[in-house]
Chains A and B, each alone.
Chain A
Amino acid sequence: MIKKLKLFFKEMFFIFNVKKSVKIGLYGPPNGGKTTLANKICEDWIGEEMGVASSVPHETREVKIKESVVIKSRGRELKFNLVDTPGISTKIDYEDFLSHKLDVKEAKQRAKEATKGVIDAIKWLDNMDCVLVVLDSTKNPYSQVNITIIGNLAARDIPVLIVANKIDLKRSDIKKIEAAFPQYPVIGISATKGNNIEDFYEEVFKLVKRR
């Protein structure tokens, strides 16, 4: 009986909360594919891109919000505000940008903006209702940045879905990500090619329901 009541209130809470506009954040280290995923979601459901994605690290240097994104799956609808955040890192050296054909002035400016972007991304953690942690599945998941992000979300009791991106690449290893974070759901996708994107949307519904 208590279980049924609990479930009933949870369902009601879910319905009312969804109407209040849920904030779903995209977090992760640089070059994991956060903006590519944000663009994929926006292209699929709004028909427009959210931001510029590139192979140059720290392309996204400020928090961007796309309001009222509505996704549909199995006859259900979910409305949320999508928040794309700058990649979090512990070091930024302007010289790293020089190899990406930026001149010294541009590289220094990008580094300056990138440091501010990291600070903003961390500040925004408190504003999130749910978070998609976007990781490059070809890279070692045991980085301290990944652990710090997920640890902070756990400390704030924010539901997390780990998105193992770039599964279309040969070196992709979802199992390693699952082994690194066994207490969290992991979904493998390719944001660029759209692989497994339907299952991803289904997981987003489950994520919002967990809050």
Chain B
Amino acid sequence: MITLQYIAHSEFGPLDTASKIRKILRSVKEDKILVIEGKMSPEDEAELITCTMEQIDKRFKGIEIASLDPQKKRNQDFLDVTKRAIANYLLGKNEGLTIIGPASIVKEIKRDPNKIELLTKMNNKRKK
């Protein structure tokens, strides 16, 4: 059975980097696939990779992660970007989506510019 957990931006966005990473790794280690509203910063993602590497052991093999950023469409002029940024700030929204799952369950997350495909492992063998 696969458990999907949705985390709204209002819950995730205000957290500091360490709290975000703790929250992600706690859920992923419980074999949950997280769907997070919004996008993490590159620095937060690098820190997430670092913490993931530190915690890899017999049971935990790491994570699969992918994010979509609709703000990064090409041919957007400065005015469009600014308008969108102001609207998001006022509404407390963070556009985009991040999917994170345990590598023991998620085989691959295929990402194209506008879509994400998540492939899971059929037989999830675990070692003690």
A residues whose Cβ falls under 8 Å from a Cβ of B: 88-93, 111, 115-116, 118-119, 122-123, 125, 140, 142-145, 147-148, 150-152, 154-155, 179-180, 182
Contact = CB atoms under 8 A, between A and B. Distances in A.
B80 interface: no
Contact of B49 (A122, A143, A179, A180): A122
A145 B63 CA distance: 11
B111 interface: yes
A88 B110 contact: no
B6 to A, nearest CB: 19
Given A115-B53, A115-B56, A142-B113, A92 B46 contact: no
Nearest to A179: B113
Interface in B48-70: 49-50, 52-54, 56, 61-67
Interface-central residue, A92, A116, A154, by most chain B CB under 10 Å: A92
Given A91-B103, A152-B46, A144 B111 contact: yes
The SS class assigned to the B binding surface is mixed
Contacts of A111: 56
B110 A92 contact: no
Contact of B65 (A90, A125, A140, A150): A90
Contact of B42 (A91, A93, A148): A148
A91 B104 CA distance: 9
B111 A122 contact: no
A31 to B, nearest CB: 15
Interface of B: 41-43, 45-46, 49-50, 52-54, 56, 61-67, 74, 103, 109-113
B107 to A, nearest CB: 10
A144 B43 contact: no
Given A152-B42, A154-B42, A118 B61 contact: no
Nearest to A123: B50
Contact of A151 (B42, B52, B63): B42
Contacts of B109: 144
B62 A93 contact: yes
B110 A140 contact: yes
A144 B62 contact: no
A123 B62 CA distance: 19
